[in-house]
Structure 1
Amino acid sequence: MSMSNWFECKVRYDKMMENGAQKKVTEAYLVDAFTFTDAEKRMNEEMEGRGEFSVTAVKRSNITEIFWDDTADKWYHVKVNFITLDEKTAVEKKTTSHILVAASNFRQALDSFMEGMKGTMADFEVNTITETPLMDVYKAKVVE
């Protein structure tokens, strides 16, 4: 499995609202890319054909893993602390990880996260679960 580099991209465009009016909106997306330039290029490819738009921001994300669910319509950011014990000093050490979970609601996000962590031998505690403003997440394109 390759190591993913996740970048959060903000895209500004004219969105057709339910009342038929055009409104300028800025939406957030997560894209797997090698560099900032690559992330912007990927975002341009993903947005192609949606009319005029501009990528207004690209920043590195702290997401280390993603639990996918194609039926879900929201993305939740789970901040989890992995707890390790220093053998010599018997001091507990906490390491924070950021995991993105696709879910339709908070409860499902927690359940999916716990399900995804089933095989984990490490002790962990869920610190926070927050709904994100992400509209979509784009995996790296596999080159045949």
Structure 2
Amino acid sequence: MSVIWYECKVKYRKTHETGEQKVTTDTYLLDAVSYTEAESRITEEMKTFTNEDFRIMNIKVANFSEVHPFENSDRWFKSKVSLIALDEESGKERKTNIYLLVQANDIKEAFENTTTAMADTMGDYTIPAITESPILDVFPYFTGEEEQLEKFGVETSNTSEDDVAEEISEEVSEESEAV
């Protein structure tokens, strides 16, 4: 199942480093299954972020194929990646554009991080554009299952549900035998 990312614009009173308060509109990104869930999730996230009243100004589907956070980076960049494929019938190259959101400190680092994110790609691609995004933070959906799986040492990235259940069952059996 593919992830649907929602861009949410929220207007609220923000206290700056100088101590003065200004009304600001910030953009956040989160994944959800519907607009209703996106609204609910951004409301919960903002309640933990600010005690002030806030207003959700806009929610729209974002066109990101993937989101790649990188440590020690504080800004988000939108990378346009053109996947190149050869059309067998006509013999011409076809380009399909996808958009990645990568975290970096500057454009050069965003290019490097995009290249890192595309490292496992088998086909040819180009990176025709990278622009700084207005997104301040990304809130990926987290069910708590990942934490439970990590507790049992299960790698979740390329594992089927049956494999996960089997590994957990084996771990629990080994733990109960040890007791």
What TM-score do the two structures reach when normalised by structure 2?
0.77
Q: Which protein is bigger by CA-based radius of gyration?
A: 2
Structure 2 counterparts to residues 36-55 of structure 1, below 5 A: 36-49=35-48, 50-51=50-51, 52-55=53-56
Shift, 1:89, TM fit: 1.0
Query: Higher strand fraction: Structure 1 or Structure 2?
Result: 1
List gaps (5 residues or longer) in structure 1. Answer: none
Q: Which runs of 4+ in 1 moved over 3 A?
A: none
Residue 76, structure 1, aligned to residue 77, structure 2: yes
Match of 1:10 in 2: 9
Match of 1:134 in 2: 135
Match of 1:102 in 2: 103
Residue 29, structure 1, aligned to residue 28, structure 2: yes
List gaps (5 residues or longer) in structure 2. Answer: 146-179
Query: Higher helix fraction: Structure 1 or Structure 2?
Result: 2
Q: Secondary structure at the match of 2:40?
A: helix
Shift, 1:70, TM fit: 3.0
Paired residue type of 2:76 = W
Range 4-13 or range 104-113, more displaced:
104-113
Bigger relative contact order (CA 8 A; separation at least 6): 1
CA distance in 1, matches of 2:142, 2:118: 26
Paired residue type of 2:4 = N
CA distance in 2, matches of 1:38, 1:130: 28
Shift, 1:118, TM fit: 1.3
What TM-score do the two structures reach when normalised by structure 1?
0.94
Cα deviations across residues 63-116 of structure 1 (Å, max 9, x unaligned)?
010111132100000011111111111011110000000111111111111112
Q: Secondary structure at the match of 2:9?
A: strand
CA distance in 2, matches of 1:68, 1:141: 15
Q: Secondary structure at the match of 2:65?
A: strand
Structure 2 counterparts to residues 56-75 of structure 1, below 5 A: 56-75=57-76
Considering only aligned residues, what root-mean-square deviation do their CA atoms show, in Å?
1.1
Range 129-138 or range 17-26, more displaced:
17-26
CA distance in 1, matches of 2:144, 2:4: 17
Match of 2:117 in 1: 116
Paired residue type of 1:14 = R
Alignment coverage as a number of residue pairs: 143
Shift, 1:143, TM fit: 4.7
